Amino acid sequence: MNVKILLIRPKPHKETIGLQKVMICEPLELEYLGTYIKSYGHEVEILDMILEKKPISFYIEKFNPDVVGLTAYIAHVNIVKEYAREIKQIKNCSVVVGGVHAEVVPEDFDSPFIDYIIKANGIKTFGQIISALQNNLSTENIEGIWGNNLSPIKETTFAYPHPDRSLVKKYRDKYYYMFHNPCALMKTSFGCPYNCSFCFCRKITDGKYFFRNIKDIIDELKNIPEDEIYIVDDDFLVDRDRLLEFCNALDEQNIKKKYLIYGRADFIAKNEDVIKRFQASGLRAVIVGLESGREEELLKYNKKSSVEINETAVSILNKYNIECYGTFIIGIDYEKKDFSNLYIWIKKLNIKFINLQPFTPLPGTELYDDYKDTLIISRDQFEKWDLAHTVVKPVKMDIRSYYFNILKIYYKITMNPVNILKMIKKYGIKECFKLSLGTSSITMQYIKKSLQKEIR
């Protein structure tokens, strides 16, 4: 007997300062799972609650699943627990939770309404669970399930079928990333060879780094309908030979797409020729973890970079007209002058798109233990662990001024008339208007936060 499986991507909590006002990306993880499970003849549907309007109960009654799979990041922990409770009230089906947070801190999902929490090798483990349920077998010996007290080794190869993107056909035209619209996602490597002290991503693969071969990537790319591709590798700019092989393959196969990637500043600074080459094959934007314009902070974060390297990297991207989306960590020891200096530095670098993240010691990283006694947002208020709330008390400022100073930088950079004009010229007035509505709504969330009597 085939199993009916409903895979759900949750809608973020209203307290989460979410990015979905400026980007909604395809749930690639659920497409991978769904494609694999479907190949065994099961019936699979993907439900994207970011885009759906009705409550979860409606879809459970409509689809009547045997198994529900929920994906979650840290900010979704309470949401998926609540979904699980509602689902179980309607139907006694099996509820499975997976995703990067479950892989590192599975205990956070402990709930009487969740049957299986996946701590390793999501696709394989999910397949094993479905097969056990289908054949009425015990799941006790499935390694990747948290609570079975087995010690699974995380896989370092990725030999699963390419995601069948038609599983989200009805949502596809709504997936975008700022000006990359419509936009598809793709993953070509897992983990990262570096070891930045604040980084959660490395924990997902237990510090291992491995990648898919170029032929396999090109085969997948050829079947993606969208022109804009967001490569969601933690760091796509690792190996210059692999990148050159990728660019050559794109040209040989006449693949004309545009790429948004994550990349480190030190690679860009050292490999201008590769960046130039990649630009010619479609590189359009790089999200660079610049983190700070202060040497001592880069050292503290074990970033293995420097202010000079950061500056060289941004100037190379500017030189080739590749957009730099700079991400920065706002230290909890920041005072007014540090915010002013950061703004001056960003302006000097001529970066138009920034993401300012208050320093967040995510559970599962070593830093969490160092800060767990000084949290102002408790661990169980998961919806506020969104890398936008400050979870640790700022040392030299009150929280209201801290948020206000973050907002001020966002405002000064995004409302800079020169930047606005450049953006309108490049992306058109309609896209710019849409993005500014999105950013205003995030700003409002911050303003409301700053006006609350008690800021938490």
Q: Which residues pair with 392 in a beta bridge?
A: 375
x-or-dash string of contact with ligand SF4, 148-187, rule CB under 6 A: ----------------------------------------
Site for ligand B12 in 130-169 (CB under 6 A): none
- Figure out which of the listed residues 3, 25, 274, 285 binds ligand B12, where binding follows CB under 6 A: 25
Q: Could you tell me where the DSSP H helices lie in 92-179?
A: 100-104, 122-134
Q: Can residue 202 be called a binding residue for ligand SF4 (CB under 6 A)?
A: yes
Q: Can residue 247 be called a binding residue for ligand SF4 (CB under 6 A)?
A: no
> Which of these ranges, 28-36, 43-51, 190-198, 317-325, lies near ligand SF4 under the rule CB under 6 A?
190-198
The nearer residue to ligand B12, 68 or 277, going by C-beta atoms, is: 68
- The least CB distance from residue 446 to ligand SF4, in Å, is 24
Torsion angle of the four alpha carbons 14, 18, 19, 23, in this order, in degrees rounded to the nearest 10: -30
Backbone dihedral angles phi then psi of residue 255, each to the nearest 5 degrees: -90, 115
192 binds, among ligand B12, ligand SF4, none (CB under 5 to 8 A by kind): ligand SF4
Site for ligand B12 in 351-370 (CB under 6 A): 362
| Cβ neighbour number for residue 213 with a 10 Å cutoff | 11
> Which of these ranges, 40-48, 139-147, 173-181, 199-207, lies near ligand SF4 under the rule CB under 6 A?
199-207
Give the SS3 label for residue 142.
coil
Q: Can residue 406 be called a binding residue for ligand B12 (CB under 6 A)?
A: no
Q: Which residues pair with 184 in a beta bridge?
A: 229
Report how far Cα 311 is from the mean position of its chain's Cα atoms: 25
Angstrom distances, CA of residue 67 to CA of 26, 288, 325, 390, 409:
21, 39, 39, 36, 46
Exposed (0-12), middle (13-18) or buried (19+): which is 366, by Cβ within 10 Å? exposed
101 binds, among ligand SF4, ligand B12, none (CB under 5 to 8 A by kind): ligand B12
100 binds, among ligand B12, ligand SF4, none (CB under 5 to 8 A by kind): ligand B12
> 321: left (phi > 0), else alpha (psi -120 to 50), else beta?
left
Tokens of 342: 């950061």
232 binds, among ligand SF4, ligand B12, none (CB under 5 to 8 A by kind): ligand B12
Q: What whole-number distance in Å separates Cα of residue 98 and Cα of residue 275?
A: 35
x-or-dash string of contact with ligand SF4, 255-284, rule CB under 6 A: ---------x--------------------
> Which of these ranges, 95-103, 272-280, 332-340, 421-429, lies near ligand B12 under the rule CB under 6 A?
95-103
- With beta carbons less than 8 A apart as the criterion, state whether 40 and 131 touch: yes
Exposed (0-12), middle (13-18) or buried (19+): which is 421, by Cβ within 10 Å? exposed
- The least CB distance from residue 325 to ligand B12, in Å, is 10
> Which of these ranges, 13-21, 139-147, 191-199, 388-396, lies near ligand SF4 under the rule CB under 6 A?
191-199
- Figure out which of the listed residues 23, 129, 142, 196 binds ligand SF4, where binding follows CB under 6 A: 196
Q: What whole-number distance in Å separates Cα of residue 435 and Cα of residue 284?
A: 18
Q: What whole-number distance in Å separates Cα of residue 324 and Cα of residue 339?
A: 20
Q: Can residue 329 be called a binding residue for ligand B12 (CB under 6 A)?
A: no
- With beta carbons less than 8 A apart as the criterion, state whether 171 and 26 touch: yes
Q: What whole-number distance in Å separates Cα of residue 132 and Cα of residue 138?
A: 6
Q: Can residue 287 be called a binding residue for ligand SF4 (CB under 6 A)?
A: no
Pairing of β 23-24 and β 176-177: antiparallel
Q: Can residue 289 be called a binding residue for ligand SF4 (CB under 6 A)?
A: yes
Binding site for ligand B12 (CB under 6 A): 12, 17-20, 23, 25, 27-29, 32-33, 50, 69-71, 73-75, 96-101, 103, 118, 122-123, 126, 185, 187, 200-201, 204, 232, 234, 362, 386-388
Binding site for ligand SF4 (CB under 6 A): 192, 194-196, 199, 201-202, 234-235, 264, 289
